[in-house]
Structure 1
C-alpha cells in the first residue's frame, strides 16, 4: 500500500464529543480515523449529488466503492514527528509525573514490561525478591501513563493539547428564552498548544497539530487522496458555529523505509540458539533490528538473576496497538489478540478494553457497539522453538501485520499495530 502522511492544523477550537459526564460533554484528545474518513465522504457525496446507492464514475466511488478501500489512521497530537500512544506498560511517579526533559521536577517515565516479565519468568523456577513498582527517586507508587509521546532525538516529549470549555444553555422553544436547568458545557481542543522548549525553559505556544497516516491501495488512489483530502476544511461538531475549521496537509512518505537484511532468518535463529542478539546486524528501525534489540534487553534482564539460566531457542516479540484493534474470537469481538499468533504463544497480556460505537454517515444510524483492544494495549508473545522455518513464517506474518493491520474496520482507523515498540527498551526513567 502507498503510505501518505497527514497533518491537521486547527484554526478554531475542535469539538470531538466523547462522553457526557453530568452536564459536561467531554472531548477526545485525538482525531479518530473514522471522523476523517466520514468528513471526506460527506464532502464527496455532497459534491457529486448522486443518491447514496448510485455512486458511479465519481470521486466518491473511486475512494469508497473501490475493491480495496484506503485505510484512514487516527491523528495524534504532535509537532516535529509522529507521536504514539503510551503503551499500557508505561509507568511514572504518582507525585512527580512526566518526562525529565519536559519538567525539571519530574521523576521520569519508563516502561515496566521487560523487568516485570523477567521477574515473573524467573519466579516460576526459583525464589526471588518481589518486584516492587516504586519510584527510584522518592519511593512513591508508580501509576500508568496516558496520552501520547513524541521522540526528540535522545529524549521524549509528551504533547498535551489544551482543552477549553464553552458553557451553553438550551433555548425554550415556546418563549425563546434560556430554559431552566438545561445548562451544559462543551469541551474543545484549543487551536493552540504548548510546544517543546527550544532555547529557554518556557514552552512556546504553537498551533495545535494532529498527525496521522493514510494508506492508499495504489498510486492512482493515492493521487486522488493527495488532491481531495486538503479540500476538507471542517471537522467535528459545531461547524455551523465556527468550530472545527482546519487546514489539512497531505504528503507522500519521502524517506525510504528501512530494509530487512537478506539473512534475517538465519541471524535471528542463530542468535536465539546462542543467546546472543547483540551480533545481529540490521538497519536501524527495521523489524529485524527491533526484534534483536528487544530480545537483547530482555535477555540482559533475565541474566541479572545470578542463579537463573535462560533457555536457548526462544524468540520474544510484542504486538503494540497504536490504534484500537477489533479482533473476533468465535465470531464475537474480544479485547484480546489470539493465544497463538505467528506461530508463537501469548506469554503476557496488558489489554485496555474499549467499547467502540458511533454513527454511520451513510445511513444515519448508530453502529453496533463492539469490544476492542484499546490503543496502548501490549501483547507479549514467545516463539519457543526458533528454528529457521519458524522464524521465517513468523517474520512474514509480522511484516504483514505492520503493513496491512490486524482485525476488522481497518479502513476506519482500527488495527494499526507495531512490533516491538522501541519504548519498551526504556527500562530506566527518562
Structure 2
C-alpha cells in the first residue's frame, strides 16, 4: 500500500550533496528519500521496512507532484506552461509545454519522406528546447513547482573550547522555510503574491502502522540540525484515488496508435517496421528520481533494458526508444562518518518506451510491481522511483499546456 508524505518546513532546511568542505554549500531542492528513511530508522532504532520516494516541492492543496519527462519541450524564447488568463498589464507570456515521445518515436520508426522531425513552438514557430522540473495540475491547468533558496552566515564552533572559532565563517545555502509564489484569482482576474510554509510531497510504500506513528514524531531532518536547521512537521495520509494504472496504459496505447496512423496515412512513410501498435501493447517507464542501473549485475548503465525488465517482473518486452542522461550520485553516511560510494545514475525524468505481445493483465501486473518496488540499486534511499505511462506523454504538438 502507498501513503502520501507531506513535509512542512518549520525552519530552514539543508540537504547538501556532499559533506561540507567549502564555505558555500548549496542544498538540494527536494527532500531525498534516504533522509526520510534514515530519520524513521533513527526514531525507531531499527532498519525500516518502508521505501520512500524523494519528496518534491508542492503547494498547499496539491494532490500530486511529478518530475516532467525528459521528452517535454517548450518554446526557447518563451518557455513554461500556459499561464492563467492574462492578468492586467501582462504582456510577456509563456507559450506552453508539450511532449515529443510519441511523435518522435513514430517519425523514427516510419521515416516519413522528406520530413525531419524538428518540433517548433506552435505559437510563434520559434525553436524549442528541453523543459524540465517539477509539475502538477490545478484547476485543469499544469503548473510548475519549485522552492526558494537563501544564504545563511554562521560562525564555526571550536570543538575544544565550545566557543566561536576565530576567523572561521561558513555560509550554507539552504531551503527557505517560506515560499512565495504568484496565484491567480478567478474573481478579480488578478495575480496575487501568496506566501506559505515550504512544503514537500512524497510517497512511501510498505509503511506499517508503527512506522507511520514514528514518522509523524520526526521533528528534524537533513543536515545541521544541531544548529537549528531542519525543523519539520510530517503528515502521513492514505494514497488519494487517482487514475489507475490500467487506465493510463489504455489511454497511452490509444494515443500512440492514433499518432501512428496519422504518420502512416498522411506523411508517406518510407520504412515498414515489423510491428504495429494495433497488434502489440506499448508502455513507458519514467524515472521520478535518479536510478542506479546495472547491466548484467555489475556494469553501470543509463538504460533500463529489456533484460532488466524481464529479470525483475518476468515480462518479455522489446525496448523501442530511450530518452535518458546520466549524472554522478553519492552521499554521506553519518554513522560511518564516511562518504558513500559514488555511482553513475540515470537522471530523473528519463523515459524508456517498450512494446510487448503480452496480455493487458500481464503488462499491468508488471508495471504495478515496478511502481511499488522501483528499479535499480539503493531504492530505500529514494533512487529508482518510477511512474509508468505518464499522462503528459499525450500532450503532443498543437496541444500545449
- The alpha-carbon distance between structure 1 residues 171 and 8, as it changes in their structure 2 partners (threshold 3 A), is closer
Q: Residue deviations 1:111-170, cap 9 Å, x none?
A: 1111211211221xx424211132222333222222200111421111121111224566
Q: Which runs of 5+ in 2 are unaligned?
A: 87-92, 310-314
Q: Which residue does 2:83 correspond to in 1?
A: 101
What are the Cα deviations for residues 63-110 of structure 1, in whole angstroms up to 9, with x where unaligned?
Answer: 53xxxx211221111122220011111112222121112695111111
Asked if the contact 2:12–2:229 (Cα under 8 Å) also holds between the matched residues in 1, the reply is yes
Q: Which of these residues, 338, 352, 362, is aligned with residue 379 of structure 1?
A: 352
Which of residues 292, 295, 319 is equivalent to 1:346?
Answer: 319
Offset from partner CA, 1:202-226 (integer Å, 9 cap, x none)? 241121110111112xxxx621122
Q: Which aligned pairs between 1:178-257 and structure 2 lie closer than 5 A?
A: 178-179=167-168, 184-195=170-181, 197-199=183-185, 200-216=190-206, 222-253=208-239, 255=240
SS at match of 1:161: coil
**Mapped partners of 1:401, 1:160: distance in 2:** 27
Contact 2:290 2:348 in 1 (8 A): yes
The one of 288, 296, 299 equivalent to 1:322 is: 288
| Structure 2 match to 1:7 | 6
Say if 2:267 is the partner of 1:288.
no
2:110 corresponds in structure 1 to 122
Distance 1:318 1:162 in 2: 32
Q: Which moved more, 1:333-342 or 1:241-250?
A: 333-342
TM-score (normalised: structure 2): 0.83
* 1:400 is the counterpart of 2:400: no
Partner of 1:304, secondary structure, is helix
- 2:160 counterpart of 1:161: no
- Structure 1 residues 393 and 251, CA, compared in 2 at 3 Å: closer, same or farther? closer
How far the C-alpha of 1:171 sits from its partner, in A, is: 7.7
Normalising by structure 1, we get a TM-score of 0.78
What CA distance in whole angstroms lies between the structure 1 residues aligned with 2:389 and 2:96?
Answer: 21
Structure 2: distance between partners of 1:289 and 1:82: 17
Q: CA deviation at 1:193?
A: 1.5
Which of 1 and 2 has higher RCO (CA within 8 Å, sep 6+)? 2
Q: For residue 336 of structure 1, what is the aligned residue in structure 2?
A: 303
CA RMSD of aligned residues (A): 2.7
| Corresponding residue of 1:82 | 64
- Matching residue of 1:52: none
Matches within 5 A, 1:128-143: 128-143=114-129
Instruction: Report the Cα distance in structure 2 between the residues aligned to 1:246 and 1:314, rounded to whole angstroms.
Output: 48
- Compute the displacement of 1:365 (Å): 2.8
Is the 8 Å Cα contact of residues 335 and 354 (structure 1) preserved in structure 2?
no
The one of 74, 79, 104 equivalent to 1:92 is: 74
Measured after TM superposition, the shift of residue 249 of structure 1 is 0.9
Cα distance in 2 for residues equivalent to 1:94 and 1:351: 21
Taking the aligned partners of 2:303 and 2:101, their CA distance within structure 1 comes to 17
SS at match of 1:96: coil
